[in-house]
Structure 1
């Protein structure tokens, strides 16, 4: 078999990335059959033989999806890696991003697959790399995102009881493919990756090559900027936790008015996300801040659409309800 040399010959960036990677074992690898996840699965299977599982999510979005699954099964058989497959309906609702719908379905599937393996899988490795990180930052910039969005993808994240690792975030996509070709390994080229209807694909095909010409070191510099944003965001979360303890949950209007406008925005955004899983748009947050400032009399009404519900004044506090105003409980 051309792709099973001794792991001790660590000479390439891919091998160095996995050598520096210290997950809990057994480890699951999210495996689509594409180049990046193929390289990650192969390197991890060499690094921890007998300790690696592959998770494949069949999204049901393409006719070729059955072929993707067959390819993944054949490759895992060659590596003697157990493969778990989950079929989902990842079609997006009207007005919803297809990529976001597929991403949510994928993460939900990983949780279910981890439960179904029969072994104590808590760590999942994902094959996102430096190009993916740059694309994520550019998409966040295009939406006018704050520090949370500009932080992009963390190397390690906890979600619904699982720990997600991204050991390839310092590697370019070309480095990964060059390594696979050197191993004599083939992979699936998803035809949707060339679909110009998706903004990420247009960034990959047009913007990244232009950045390569003008700023050859852009992957590393973008990664540093994302790291700085993540550190700053962590500080904002710490401050928001302190302020939330002061203003209360639901927050007291008078206590909010004692904070600067920037701290009001920070703690309200944190309260809505932490307590109600919703994020106000910039316009909604500005309107809410204006109403907090204007709320100086007992009869002043606050009623602002935020996410799928409303922020209302209820006596001396603000509260959020995911119901029509007529159905809101009285207090």
Structure 2
């Protein structure tokens, strides 16, 4: 928090749990009168109304304006509940900032993920065979929908947050779903983190460094991909693609699909696409591959994507 200097006024994502309670308290003390709280009511469990009521009482005690936003966070087929809830939260933050912009001009939003959350995210990525974007875990700051998002607690271990709250005597709620080990993240928290703490006491710091290294490498790959795409064109020409190494082809195609079509190919889909690009040596060779929710096809000398 010492080096956290967001543009003000600031909104804090406040769930009522320990982490967001600590973040809200610290921000209110540092920037009195410049902080607003936003509680996203997911409506996914019976206790959700009680969470919102707790937040209202606590914010009233702090004399901090609170906005409760109800969202529909049910997940679509093939989508994880966590991803659906995350999307709903970001949409709620966007709506809040848009509605409040004329009066408050909210410029920044602070979220309460901490060092343990960062480790859990990396371990989840490893369990799924993720590449550098997944191993980069969560960024400390980023832009989305014209807002600056910040995670000022990413270097702070969860036990330190709870110890700080205990010294302050601050009330917070315990979400019962956080101990439900049907969720992979909760199993990691309950089983793996204690084992890591025993075997490698500094694991939070070393994992954070690894995430930073992965993020730097990913930024470099993205820079190379966008330079390559300038030469390849949009949509990319097949012959120019074939002039790149397989690794640069994969990097460029992954970036093209994500940046221009919001499509994320699986490893198997991307490998198949590379194979088809390599085999495309005659005019009559056709390409029609399913990628994400659409298809990559050949049209003349170029690749095209149709959602």
TM-score normalised by length of structure 1: 0.91
After superposition, where does 1:190-201 map in structure 2 within 5 Å?
Answer: 190-201=175-186
Shift of 1:122: 1.6
Q: Partner residue of 2:45? A: 62
After superposition, where does 1:1-331 map in structure 2 within 5 Å?
Answer: 18-117=1-100, 118-322=103-307
Mapped partners of 1:24, 1:175: distance in 2: 26
Judge conservation of contact 1:19–1:47 (CA < 8 Å) in 2.
Answer: no
Cα-to-partner distance string for 1:150-171 (whole Å, 9 max, x where unaligned): 1010110111111110110010
Q: Partner residue of 1:3? A: none
- SS of the residue aligned with 1:49? coil
User: Structure 2: where are the runs of 5+ without partners?
Assistant: none
Mapped partners of 1:20, 1:269: distance in 2: 35
Shift of 1:95: 2.0
CA-based RMSD of the aligned residues comes to 0.6
Cα-to-partner distance string for 1:140-183 (whole Å, 9 max, x where unaligned): 01111111111010110111111110110010000000000000
Runs (4 or more) in structure 1 with deviation over 6 Å come to none
User: Structure 1: where are the runs of 5+ without partners?
Assistant: 1-17, 323-331
TM-score normalised by length of structure 2: 0.99
- SS of the residue aligned with 1:28? strand
- SS of the residue aligned with 1:107? helix
Shift of 1:295: 0.1
- SS of the residue aligned with 2:305? strand
- SS of the residue aligned with 1:19? coil
Cα-to-partner distance string for 1:240-281 (whole Å, 9 max, x where unaligned): 011000111100000000000000000000000000001100
Shift of 1:114: 1.1
Cα-to-partner distance string for 1:296-328 (whole Å, 9 max, x where unaligned): 000001010001100000010000001xxxxxx
- SS of the residue aligned with 1:188? coil
- SS of the residue aligned with 2:304? strand
Judge conservation of contact 1:55–1:83 (CA < 8 Å) in 2.
Answer: yes
Shift of 1:116: 2.1
